[in-house]
Structure 1
Amino acid sequence: MDLLHKVALVTGGGTGIGRATSIELAKRGATVVINYSRSKADAEATVREISAIKGSAFAFQADISQDSEVRSMVHRIVQNVGSIDLLVNNAGATQHIPMDDLEAVTDDIWNELLDVNVKGMFYCSRAVSPYMKDKRHGAIVNVGSIAGQTGLGSSLPYAVSKAAVHGLTKSLARALAPCIRVNCVVPGAVETRWWKGREDRMNALAPHLLLQAISTPEDIAHMICAALEQEAMTGQIITVDSGQTL
């Protein structure tokens, strides 16, 4: 699929992988809708950056864990620009809890991570799918994590939520075929603000990776765009981790 003149919605599109993906989509000619929940300044800065390279983008606030907000956002986007052709389910949440500290995992933490990381992706996919079906084409990329493959991550609920994202990808690929392709890009360690305060751990990890480098947000963005463009692929879980899980 050529991304030129397509409309792409990127959740969490103002920071980290989302920001890099928004910029890369704009470079490939897409109109980019940058969703944010609380990071308004970051989202607006990303819009300005895209405008500076003669791209087209605007920011839109919505809490993706709330189905009503998602439906309203998608409806207003379609009213403004006519359609949504591409969806990048990037927004996510975590809590940093030692994996063996089961007592620290509260119901509130479970609910937050599952609501954002899993249900939010489902809500967004469901909301955009009728518009994609009407045009008989569309593509969705979910952002997973190697935590969902290895069971090891920033917390146990986070790892479980990302395993659910990988399963959601396969189920949506079946549910939305043949008009809509759904794939999942699975990053390993990526140099984003999630490492803030733990940069020493990130730097210590790099030499132990096969490629001896932590991935950048741009690395992941390029794979997300490639998955959106690839017409002959759906239901796939694509790992981009500098050899971390090999």
Structure 2
Amino acid sequence: MIVGVTGVSGGIGTALEAQLTADGISVIGFARNPHPGHQTLDVTWDRETISARVAGAIAPSQLFDGWVNLAGADILQGDVRKLPYLSRLHLLWTTDVEGTIKCTQAVLPRLRPGGVIINIAWDEALTGAQGASAELYATAKAAIIGYSASLARSLAPTFRVGVIAPGWVKTRWAASLSPEQRERLIQQSRSQHWISADRVAGVIMEWLKAPGPSGTVVTVS
């Protein structure tokens, strides 16, 4: 089994690669700033460049069995969080939404019949959450849910499409917050607790190995 993963150098990506590899599954990882052994890929590149990079990552005789669109923009840290509202929306849209679509289009010609595509959303995109960052993030992730639902219908019955929608995941950004900030944020959240990257990775792996009905949204909270 061969699985392609974008955003593999992030927290969830690192956990997912470790779990898949331990289970004997071959992982071809892609990242904007790749670790050794990974492929360089920026999901904001044009579609032709992304397609060439995806096709060149495996032998001509090989096909992917699964594909996970993990790559996403971080609008909560550093100078990015200080950008104007619409600038942060543009960053999320070009990375999370357009990036997911372009990578999906790139992998389809190299995806084995019966293969699985998994996209990443956010559980509060289904319910809404307070604050400017939540508005922006929910907008992008709700778009991914809508795209995935339609994609599932377009690709049926050849391929299956799943959406994993975790709550707040323990990331480098979460570690940078004070205990008071973390508690206040999580008390306002839908899940009411922080979720580990390993837990999210485990749900993704379960869906890759035994996918549910195409178009399903699986919340991890």
* Same structural fold, with TM-score higher than 0.5 when normalized by the shorter chain: yes
Q: In structure 1, what is the Cα distance between the partners aligned to 2:65 and 2:182?
A: 36
Aligned with residue 31 of structure 1, among 26, 37, 57:
26
1:109 to partner: Cα distance: 2.5
Residue aligning to 1:224 = 204
For the 8 Å contact 2:7–2:72, the answer to whether it is kept is yes
**Structure 1 residues 205, 115: closer, same or farther in 2, change over 3 A?**
closer
State TM-score, norm by structure 1. Answer: 0.77
* Secondary structure of 2:27 counterpart: strand
1:29-85 deviation digits (Å, cap 9, x = unpaired): 1111111113x3xx33xxxxxxxxxxxxx3001111222331121111133772211
After the TM superposition, which residues 12-161 of structure 1 pair with which residues of structure 2 at under 5 Å, given as runs? 12-38=7-33, 40=34, 43-44=35-36, 58-66=37-45, 67-79=47-59, 82-96=62-76, 104-106=84-86, 108-132=87-111, 135-152=112-129, 154-161=133-140
Residue aligning to 1:193 = 172
1:143 to partner: Cα distance: 1.1
What letter is aligned with 1:143? Answer: I
What letter is aligned with 2:167? Answer: G
For the 8 Å contact 2:148–2:162, the answer to whether it is kept is yes
* Secondary structure of 1:77 counterpart: coil
**Structure 1 residues 170, 29: closer, same or farther in 2, change over 3 A?**
same
C-alpha RMSD of matched pairs (Å): 2.5
For the 8 Å contact 1:95–1:155, the answer to whether it is kept is no
1:168 to partner: Cα distance: 1.3
Q: In structure 1, what is the Cα distance between the partners aligned to 2:190 and 2:125?
A: 20
What letter is aligned with 2:21? Answer: A
Gaps of at least 5 residues in structure 1 are 1-5, 45-57, 98-102, 242-246
For the 8 Å contact 1:183–1:234, the answer to whether it is kept is yes
Gaps of at least 5 residues in structure 2 are 78-82
Q: Equivalent pairs: percent with the same residue?
A: 29
For the 8 Å contact 2:70–2:119, the answer to whether it is kept is yes
* Secondary structure of 2:126 counterpart: helix
State TM-score, norm by structure 2. Answer: 0.86
**Structure 1 residues 14, 199: closer, same or farther in 2, change over 3 A?**
farther
Q: How many residues align?
A: 212
**Structure 1 residues 158, 94: closer, same or farther in 2, change over 3 A?**
farther
Q: In structure 1, what is the Cα distance between the partners aligned to 2:6 and 2:121?
A: 13
